[in-house]
Structure 1
Amino acid sequence: MSKIVVVTGAAGFIGRWVVRELLERGYTVRGLDDLSNSSHRNIAEFEDSERFDLVEGDVCNPKTVTSRFDDDVDACIHLAAEIDVQESLEDPQSHFESNVVGTQNILEACRQAEARLGLVGTCMVYDMVDSDAGIDEEHPVKPASPYAGSKLAAEDLAEGYYHGYDLPVTILRPFNTYGPYQKTSMAGGVVSIFTNRDLQGKPLKIFGDGTQTRDLLYATDCARFIVDGTFSDDAIGEVLNAGTGTDISINELAEVIATEDTEITHVEHHHPQSEVQKLLCDPSKAEEMLGWEPQVSLEEGIDQLRDWLREQNES
């Protein structure tokens, strides 16, 4: 009998890649997703699998959460979250409910089931970095939005369960992840938005001056990191970052993605106070502890995303 893993946010962008990685490794996956920021389309290819099922429900509902857990559950990967910085500034309460209260419900379910937890956080909790050294796990935190604050609060709760109850928790902070199945609206990531607009012949809009940088991680590399980190005994009680160790400015990214006739424009930033100017990961801890390193280059990743988006637009 294969090990059972509960995945929250299973029908989301990163969630569907985590589900795929788990199924390929032989796990049985119990998904939970309220489908508010995701879709059945993302997981359509798994729905015939005997080792995957999805319940539609909200992590803020304790009964819904506990319905996915029993003594057979080995682990939970918690991805369900509100993730929009701008929305968190306009409606901080919803981010608190989903990201803090929801995580509390997951932690309690894991404690009752004696299941290990991979808690997926965000690089947006970190303070600015102005050197080329990269952000490691010891870097100071400074959440600049209610979104980042709620994600950091969730991590603190998880650490409380680790120290207070000896719950096996690993905190996983992937940097900016992109790839197929990511939204191309404002709720999506910059790579997906730019690539889709280029395919449609629309201008690539850069918020602010475009000098802000991102460390861009391809979806399959992110999913491997999350699964490896969740099941590593060495990583219990640890915080782990994942990125490529290389950053690129938004201006440069636009140049890489834009084909010859595509215009690149700059527009006023809608939340400059919450913009992290430089995001560059130091992934050396994950490399040493998990033997993990990214396999997909930015050029390869953009090509794969472009091919996928082209198929979607044609179908």
Structure 2
Amino acid sequence: MNILLTGGAGFIGRWVAKRLLDEGYNLWVLDDLSNGREENLTEIINHPGFKQFIKGSILDESLLSSLFDAHRFEICYHLGASINVQDSIDEPRTTFNNDTIGTFYVLEQCRKYNTKVVFMSTCMVYDRCNDETGIDENHPTKPASPYAGSKIGAENMVLSYYYAYGLPTVVIRPFNTYGPFQKTGGEGGVVAIFIKNELEGKTLNIYGEGTQTRDLLYVEDCARFVVSAGFDDRVNGEIVNAGLGRDISVNDLALLIAGDSSKILHVPHIHPQSEIQKLLCNYGKAKHLLGWEPQISLEEGIQRTRKWIVEGGLA
């Protein structure tokens, strides 16, 4: 089976690539390296199933067309995207082009060959959670940033191709994913950033009051979920969440990692208007349709991530 993975040189993409190769599939990776990096693929690029790394953009329709024409992919895992909330606020055009228009270009190629589309969305499309039952797929959405708005627009296009053309598609919404190979600087890597700062004797800076909560999903659990969505027809035409099913405040996360409140500093929030105060995943649908549930606890995941960073993980 021939599979295309966009964004495969990114943090989650790297783990999805590894799992697909371990399961014996032929894999092509497309990434423009605006967020990903080739070093993420060092350990797997010589695998016999790894057919090609293509440095290129999902906005390059001729490149996409040539790839699909040559290899007639059976599944496209579409993870390629602009993912930084603040960047989307500062310069929304890039995020909209990559996340919405780029997804449309991918869909058009998949429609030609009836290629199944697994579209990576985000928990950032949701409004805040108000109770302990967690956020399920029917929870209200709230595009509080152009990033979230672009993802919601793309989600709707992905589902429209299922209804209009019968194309097998699924929208997946993993919650806050962390683990080895996540960058230790920049947005999205709160666990990695906190661990790196703690190891270097630096303060752990928390945006705002730190009472906001996150549902933190270990990356190998996330990759197992992503891959499984491509091979099960029961999720076609569906939106499916994945998370740990447990949330933790950023304050408590920092204390868990630092072990000392004196090492924690609160700083002004860079985009309070786009903050989601409570994120807690209800993954019941993934469990029901895919038989998926997380296997790695937050404490074990932090330990694994710390070990990777200590052993010289990519900065």
Confirm or deny: 8 A CA contact 1:198 1:262 kept in the other structure: no
Equivalent runs, 1:147-162 vs 2, <5 Å: 147-162=147-162
Change (3 A) 1:127 1:188: closer
Secondary structure of 1:109's aligned partner: helix
Secondary structure of 1:67's aligned partner: helix
Matching residue's letter, 2:303: D
Change (3 A) 1:59 1:89: same
TM-score by length of 2: 0.97
Q: Distance in 2 between matches of 1:140 and 1:26?
A: 39
Equivalent runs, 1:107-146 vs 2, <5 Å: 107-146=107-146
Confirm or deny: 8 A CA contact 1:30 1:68 kept in the other structure: no
Partner of 2:304: 304
Residue deviations 1:158-193, cap 9 Å, x none?
A: 111111111100100000000011111123421111
Equivalent runs, 1:13-24 vs 2, <5 Å: 13-24=11-22
Q: Distance in 2 between matches of 1:72 and 1:60?
A: 19
Partner of 2:32: 34
Q: Does 1:291 align with 2:294?
A: no
Secondary structure of 1:6's aligned partner: strand
Greater than 6 Å deviation, 4+ residue runs: none
Q: Distance in 2 between matches of 1:194 and 1:63?
A: 42
Equivalent runs, 1:102-251 vs 2, <5 Å: 102-251=102-251
Confirm or deny: 8 A CA contact 1:170 1:237 kept in the other structure: yes
Q: Distance in 1 between matches of 2:170 and 2:314?
A: 41
Residue deviations 1:127-163, cap 9 Å, x none?
A: 1122111000010111100000000100011111111
Confirm or deny: 8 A CA contact 1:201 1:262 kept in the other structure: no
- How far does residue 4 in structure 1 lie from its aligned partner after superposition? 1.0
Confirm or deny: 8 A CA contact 2:16 2:223 kept in the other structure: yes
Secondary structure of 2:42's aligned partner: helix
Partner of 1:86: 86
Residue deviations 1:173-219, cap 9 Å, x none?
A: 00000001111112342111111111111100000000000000000
Confirm or deny: 8 A CA contact 2:8 2:30 kept in the other structure: yes
- How far does residue 67 in structure 1 lie from its aligned partner after superposition? 2.5
Structure 1: where are the runs of 5+ without partners? Answer: none
- The number of residue pairs the alignment matches comes to 313
Structure 2: where are the runs of 5+ without partners? Answer: none
- How far does residue 68 in structure 1 lie from its aligned partner after superposition? 2.3
Secondary structure of 1:73's aligned partner: coil
Q: Distance in 2 between matches of 1:161 and 1:173?
A: 18
Secondary structure of 2:311's aligned partner: helix
Change (3 A) 1:37 1:282: same
Confirm or deny: 8 A CA contact 2:196 2:309 kept in the other structure: yes
Q: Distance in 2 between matches of 1:242 and 1:314?
A: 26
Confirm or deny: 8 A CA contact 1:202 1:262 kept in the other structure: no
Partner of 1:48: 46
Confirm or deny: 8 A CA contact 1:204 1:262 kept in the other structure: no
Change (3 A) 1:188 1:141: closer
Matching residue's letter, 1:67: S
Q: Distance in 1 between matches of 2:260 and 2:300?
A: 19
Change (3 A) 1:159 1:206: same
Residue deviations 1:255-301, cap 9 Å, x none?
A: 11104597101001010000000000000000011000101111111
Matching residue's letter, 1:61: D
Matching residue's letter, 1:83: I
Partner of 2:68: 69
